Chain A
Amino acid sequence: MNTLSPGFHGHTRPRSDRLPPGQYPTEQFPVLSAGPTPEVPTSTWEFTLTGTEGERLRTWDWAGFGDLPQEEPTVDIHCVTRWTKWDTSWRGVSVDVLLEGVDTSASHVMAESYGGYTTNLPLADLTGGRAWIVHTFDGLPLPPEHGGPARLLVPHLYFWKSAKWVSGLRLLDRDEPGFWESVGYHMYGDPWREQRNRSD
């Protein structure tokens, strides 16, 4: 007699080619945040690209951001709390557009948010059509609890890397831990390699 969770059958086996290990699919859109949702009016919203010496390279306000070329990615997202949501549709600006013509030797980036949240990523993971700053989800303005007015979207990494309420990107010469990374989360966060915690 099997004594490991006897009588457990589970639900329909999800298709594994789109489900990273240890995840389950959800129709909902759960929320993971460390603190209160900051109020960020679009009238004062700014997005800043900062260089490795702390210099302001570029700044956009809400209207200026809206004038940039927009894309509409449809992607699967994977949260470290183990839910995966398939075919989420967004509208926003590719990070490639924001970095266009910037000459830098930076290896990493710190995404910075209103409210103080930060998360670190290799610069290469934000380029090549793999990352966006998005302001619309499912055809509607992104709700504050999901990161509105605008959040980073990096769907190939765990979703805590897709910083909510994003206020800018700061270029780094070397990797530094962001908020969750400094309390034990993995520095990179690849869902297909289950890089949840520092020791994974």
Chain B
Amino acid sequence: MHGHWYFARLAARREENATARTLLFDVEKWPGHLPGQHVDVRLTADDGYQAIRSYSLAAPAEGDRLELGVQPVEGGEVSPYLAEQLPLDAYVEVRGPLGGWFVWRGERTEPVLLLGGGSGIVPLRAMVRARRSSAARSPFLLLYALRSPAERWYAEELRPGADADGVRTRLLYSREAPAEEPRPAGRLTAADLAGAAEVEGGPPLCYVCGPTGFVEHAAGLLVAAGVPPGRVRTERFG
């Protein structure tokens, strides 16, 4: 049932960095969702005016709990309100889960490449979470492109290197890198994807999410690196 609107109570809000926020909602009788899916969020003003926007789900389904990632857009109608104003214990309405293409299904065993730009990391983080908590042992490589350390999301959870579950993570800074980072700050290049197309059991199923310019560039590099276009799934913001 996509058509149904649920009441969602804001249970907690977490700061991911100076501007990005994670919002935790409780939704009674939530039907569950797949990693990579999104929801519509509806706000209602006192005069009855309503505004609706889509937000990616940042974590796999867990009971009645929904986790959304919100990057406020300057001058935006909905995102600044969600990020800063909506009080704890107040409600919004949500509808979903939505999206049947940009999803990772845990039963698949093929290698996966996740390529996130900026707040495009949000749905990919749900996939990493799902992979870590599942029995699946498909190779997972996460490439997280971001402008600077100050704009990093999920710093505790998505650390560079390989974790015990076999998920490898690399951070690719475009404007400003931390001192210990060997890769100089710069735009994503073919060199960053070297080897990504030829993994064991490959080519990988690729999920690319971020602003349009980033997704166009990254998806083009993947195809140039030899990944069949049909193996590249994209989701764009704005």
Contact between A36 and B101 (Cβ–Cβ < 8 Å)?
no
Q: Say whether A197 contacts B2, CB under 8 Å.
A: yes
User: What 0/1 readout, one digit per residue, does chain A (1-33) give for beta carbons within 8 Å of chain B?
Assistant: 011111111110100000000101000101111
When chains A and B are docked, how far (Å) is the Cα of A4 from the Cα of B216? Answer: 38
Q: Does A183 contact B (CB under 8 A)?
A: yes
For chain A residues 138-180, which have a beta carbon within 8 Å of chain B?
145, 180
Instruction: Provide the bound-state CA to CA distance between A9 and B51, in Å.
Output: 10
Q: In the complex, A3→B98 CA distance in Å?
A: 25
For residue B45, give the distance in angstroms from its CB to the closest CB of chain A. Answer: 5
Task: State whether the Cβ of A38 lies closer than 8 Å to any Cβ in chain B.
Answer: yes
CB distance from A23 to the nearest CB of B (A): 8
Contact of A199 among B3, B44, B52, B100 (CB under 8 A): B3
B134 contacts the other chain (Cβ, under 8 Å)?
Answer: no
Query: Interface centre among A28, A35, A197, by most B CB within 10 Å?
Result: A35
Contact of A30 among B45, B49, B238 (CB under 8 A): B238
| Cβ-neighbour of B92 out of A2, A4, A34 (below 8 A) | A4
A13: B residues at CB distance < 8 A: 49
Interface size on A, residues (CB 8 A): 36
Q: Tell me whether B234 and A5 are in contact (CB under 8 A).
A: no
Alpha-carbon gap, A3 to B9, bound state (A): 9
* List of A residues within 8 angstroms of B2 by Cβ: 184, 196-200
B 60-107 contacts with A by CB, 8 A? 77, 81, 85-87, 89-93, 98-102
Determine whether the beta carbon of A5 is less than 8 Å from that of B229: no
* Distance in angstroms between the alpha carbons of A34 and B100 in the assembled complex: 11
Q: Which of B164-172, B180-188, B218-226 contacts A (4 or more CB under 8 A)?
A: B218-226
Contacting residue for A35 out of B44, B212, B232, CB 8 A:
B232
Compute how far the CA of A34 lies from the CA of B220 in the bound complex, rounded to whole angstroms.
Answer: 13
Indicate whether B236 reaches chain A with its CB closer than 8 angstroms. yes
Residue among A31, A36, A200 facing the most chain B CB atoms (10 A cut-off): A36
A130 within 8 A of B: no
A32 to B, closest residue via Cβ: B236
A24 to chain B: closest residue by CB: B51
Chain B, 189-238, CB within 8 A of any chain A CB: 212, 215-216, 219-220, 222-223, 229-230, 232-234, 236, 238
Q: Is the CB of B44 within 8 A of A36?
A: no
> Of the candidates A7, A37, A81, which one forms a contact with B220 in the assembled complex, judged by CB atoms under 8 Å apart?
A37
- Please measure, in the bound complex, the distance between the C-alpha atom of A196 and the C-alpha atom of B99, giving whole angstroms: 11
Q: List A contacts of B238 (CB < 8 A).
A: 28, 30
B residues touching A (Cβ–Cβ < 8 Å)?
Answer: 1-3, 7, 40, 43-46, 49-54, 77, 81, 85-87, 89-93, 98-102, 212, 215-216, 219-220, 222-223, 229-230, 232-234, 236, 238
